[in-house]
Chains A and B, each alone.
Chain A
Amino acid sequence: MKVAVTRSGGFAGMVRRAEVDSADHPAVAGLINDVRLDEVPAEPRREPDRFVYDIQIGDRSARIGEADLQGPLRELVDHVMTQGS
């Protein structure tokens, strides 16, 4: 399953995108089961110069502010951003 992360915002305002196929990343495959995208707040917090993440897991997606990014979702994002292409 394709897992993609797009990070925007921050002082620099630059957009960074990375994706992985969970078939190639066992850690991601495991985290997907723990992640609850439907529990992400409906509207991301709008705070100056914080990062905003758009997360896509297969056909599901969510937008979340940096300050709310915790737990398995944070691990998933970190993994994709550092290991993905």
Chain B
Amino acid sequence: MRCTIVPPHVLEHVAGGHGDEQVRELVQRTLTLDNEQRLTRDAAQLIAQPPPPTAPAAANRTLHDAGHQESLPGRTVRSEGGAATGDQQVDEVYDWLGVTFDFYNVAYGRNSIDGGGLPLVATVHYSTNYDNAFWEGSQMVYGDGDQQIFKTFTGPLDVTGHELTHGVTQYAGGLDYQGQSGALNESLSDVFGSLVKQYHLGQTADQADWIIGQGLFTDSVHGVGLRSMKAPGTAYDDPNLGKDPQPAEMAGYVDTDSDNGGVHINSGIPNHAFYLAATAIGGHAWEKAGRVWYDTITSRRVPTGADFAMFASMTYATAGTLFGVKSTESDAVRDAWTKVGVKIT
């Protein structure tokens, strides 16, 4: 909003260092006057005008290398705007963080994970043979994989989309990471992880593969990825790993103590509901079905212990608000949940 031609820092430099007393005095008066005008102008704007538009949202990424140790964040290897490092994992994650940031910003007007421009921090080369990636609460962490079953977790874009969405869910109020609320937490990460990939590829709902972690397995594994939102339970069937255990409907809900109550298993049910809603509506899935899910989770009305039925009912209500209670979009959301055996109340 400043309109002076000479920037204040230049004037300050002259005021402090110029040998000619008259020039120094003149410049000092200009600065003082400038400040007074600026204050007056700012005050007038506060009263007379709507708040100025916020600065355009831009990602602020910092990449670290754990050097196969486990202390975080590790050595800084690339900052925002920095040149590619030549380290594949570093450069992949840098790009995927950018795509995920753009997705949330363009699709939903969200400025970063917290909605307030949170810097994106990530560490690669974590531990040794580490078959995982996770959101640590304030940053991303990626393992290189064991290279026998898993390739590096930095590879597939939807892994980064999945993990950063755990951050979005956290900042939106959170979902307890156990049982049905935990499976919803997982499902939201799969939903938006897949949508980030679809957005990046420009795919419509019927063009998308709806696979989570495509490209993560080495060639030795019989499987297309870790989870299928289109057909839960069919992503892999391997002599060493066994078969994808995900159910697609409530009738197959798995009661278990492990994995915080099967959060990565039962997420298949809400995953499939989203797939059904998105494909019934058609077009780019992030625009309508994704908007319904996004508005629901960021409404701050979802209790942290929400179960499937409660979340389903809230998505149906959101669809009604966005598109009308008798709209095809609302019907698609209701029918999707009904098909997976979750009753909307």
B150 engages A12 (CB within 8 Å): yes
State which of B134, B150, B176, B257 has its C-beta within 8 Å of the C-beta of A49: B134
Task: Verify A11–B182 contact, CB threshold 8 A.
Answer: no
**A52 vs B177: C-alpha distance in the bound complex, in angstroms?**
12
Let me know if A49 and B259 touch, CB within 8 A. Answer: no
Interface residues of B in 240-278 (CB under 8 A from A): 241, 257-260, 263-265
Cβ of B133 < 8 Å from any Cβ of A? yes
Q: Does B134 lie within 8 Å of A47, measured CB to CB?
A: yes
Q: Are A51 and B132 in contact (CB under 8 A)?
A: yes
Query: Contacts of B259 on A, CB cut-off 8 Å?
Result: 8-9, 13, 15, 52
Does B213 interact with chain A (Cβ within 8 Å)? yes
Q: Which of B12-20, B21-29, B75-83, B158-166 contacts A (4 or more CB under 8 A)?
A: B158-166
Binding site of B, secondary structure by majority: helix, strand, loop or mixed? Answer: mixed
Interface residues of B (CB under 8 A from A): 131-137, 150, 153, 159, 162-163, 166, 176-178, 182, 185-186, 189, 213, 216, 226-227, 241, 257-260, 263-265
* Chain A nearest CB, measured from B279 CB (Å): 24
Other A-B pairs beyond A46-B182, A63-B257, 8, CB < 8 Å = A9-B263, A10-B131, A11-B133, A13-B259, A14-B241, A47-B136, A48-B185, A52-B259
Residue contact B258 to A49, C-beta cutoff 8 Å: no
Residues of B within 8 A of A48 (CB): 134-135, 163, 166, 177, 185-186, 189
What's the minimum C-beta distance from A15 to chain B, rounded to whole angstroms?
A: 6
Q: Which residues of B contact A54 (CB under 8 A)?
A: 258
Main secondary structure of the interface of A (DSSP, over half): loop
Asked if A56 is at the interface of the complex by the 8 Å CB criterion, the answer is: no
By the criterion CB–CB under 8 Å, are A12 and B132 in contact? yes
The answer to whether A47 and B137 touch across the interface, beta carbons within 8 angstroms, is yes
**Most chain B CB atoms below 10 A, which of A6, A14, A46, A63:** A14
- Are A52 and B260 in contact, with the CB atoms below 8 A? yes
A79 interface hit (Cβ, 8 Å): no
Please name the residue on chain B nearest to A7 by beta carbon: B258
**Residues of the A chain whose Cβ atoms lie less than 8 Å from the Cβ of B241:** 14
B258 touches A6 (CB 8 A): yes
Q: Considering residues A8, A14, A49, A51, which has the most beta carbons from chain B within 10 angstroms of its beta carbon? A: A49
Q: Is the CB of B258 within 8 A of A10?
A: no
**B132, B135, B153, B166 — most chain A CB neighbours (10 Å):** B132
